[in-house]
């Protein structure tokens, strides 16, 4: 049986453009988190 692939690779430039069309970086909140508390969290910086 052939492997099914559900995701496609999007070039970085195109992915960035798609993201910025939907998200305003100026509206995003940020917070400082201690390293032990950061386990299993998604980071952006």
Q: What is the number of other CB atoms lying within 10 angstroms of the CB of residue 41?
A: 7
* Nearest CA among 33, 36, 37 for reference residue 45: 33
Q: What per-residue confidence (pLDDT) applies to 39?
A: 86
pLDDT > 80? residue 44: no
Spatial separation of the C-alpha atoms in residues 37 and 15, rounded to whole Å: 29
33-43 average pLDDT score: 84
Q: What is the DSSP code (8-state) at residue 39? A: T
Task: Indicate the pTM of the whole model.
Answer: 0.46
Residue 4 tokens, joined: 């099914």
Contacts (Cβ under 8 Å, ≥6 apart) of 30 = 45
Residue 41 in this model has a pLDDT that exceeds 90: no
- What pLDDT does 45 receive? 52
DSSP code, position 37 = G
Question: pLDDT tens digit string along 3-36?
Answer: 877 788 899 999 999 999 998 888 888 888 898 9
């Amino acid at each position: 049986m052939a492997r099914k692939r559900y995701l496609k690779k999007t070039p970085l430039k195109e992915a960035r453009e798609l993201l910025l069309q939907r998200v305003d970086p100026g509206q995003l909140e940020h917070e400082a988190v201690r390293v032990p508390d950061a386990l299993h969290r998604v980071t952006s910086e």
